[in-house]
Amino acid sequence: MAIDDYSEGGRDDIDRLFPGLFRPLGGSLFDEGPKGLHPLSKVDVSAEFVTVTFDVPGVDRDDVTVTCTDDTVSIEAEMRKSFRSGGPGRSESSFEYVRYSRRIQLPVSVDPDKGTAKFKNGIIVIKLPRRDQGKTVKISGDQAKNKSGK
């Protein structure tokens, strides 16, 4: 796969659009593994499902691998173009990323065999049914008394 670079061509275009704004200062980017950029993500938990969403701009659907276990969701995705993130001394110290990589620990247990995923616009949504779905609890009490208003 031919890998272009957002820093040459693409990155220059973006710099023209955003001259200096939003340039990362290094910071948390130092904490990331070599060439594996952590995608933005969110986890939503409902009564029946856990939905994990990853923002992976610049990848094609066929270059995304999602792996689920009972309590984790992992993503590996190869970028169409590498992304150069400017650290301090941008040209010398910048980091180049060619893929996304992230593992999320889920807050509840899920059934990975029944999961579904959909990909559009560089966003992947993984929906997994919960294993620990709550059961409806019947409430007993003096309903009749209240209904009669006595």
Partner 1 sequence: MPQHPKRVQVVDFGPRLNKPNVIVGVPEAGLVGTIACSYIVEQLKLEERGYIDSDFMPPVMVVHDSGARYPMHIFGKDNLVVIISEVPLAGRLSFEVAKEVAAWAKSTKAELVVGVTGAPSRAREEAQGDGKSTVVGVGNDETSLQALQTSGALPFQDGVMTGFYASLLKYLMKERQSGAVLLAESLGQFPDPGASVSIIEALNPLLSLKVDSNALLKEAEGIRLRTRELMQQTQQAQQPAAPQNGGSSAYR
Binding site for partner 1 (CB under 8 A): 6, 10-11, 13-14, 16-25, 27-29, 37, 39-40, 42, 53, 55, 57-58, 83, 88, 118, 120-123, 125
Q: Is 48 or 70 the residue whose CB approaches partner 1 more closely? A: 48
Q: How far is the CB of 70 from partner 1 (least distance, A)?
A: 25
Q: Is 22 or 138 the residue whose CB approaches partner 1 more closely? A: 22
Q: How far is the CB of 137 from partner 1 (least distance, A)?
A: 28
126: left (phi over 0), alpha (psi -120 to 50) or beta: beta
Which contacts of 107-116 are long-range, i.e. CB under 8 A and separated by 24 or more positions?
107/43, 107/45, 107/50, 108/45, 108/50, 108/71, 108/132, 109/70, 109/71, 110/50, 110/68, 110/70, 110/71, 111/70, 112/68, 112/69, 112/70, 115/68
Q: Is 14 or 103 the residue whose CB approaches partner 1 more closely? A: 14
Q: Is 37 or 68 the residue whose CB approaches partner 1 more closely? A: 37
Q: How far is the CB of 141 from partner 1 (least distance, A)?
A: 34
Q: How far is the CB of 27 from partner 1 (least distance, A)?
A: 7
What's the CA gap between 83 and 73, in Å, rounded?
24
Q: Is 9 or 69 the residue whose CB approaches partner 1 more closely? A: 9
Q: How far is the CB of 86 from partner 1 (least distance, A)?
A: 9
Residues in CB range of 39: below 8 A, 6 or more apart: 54, 55, 56, 75, 77, 100, 102
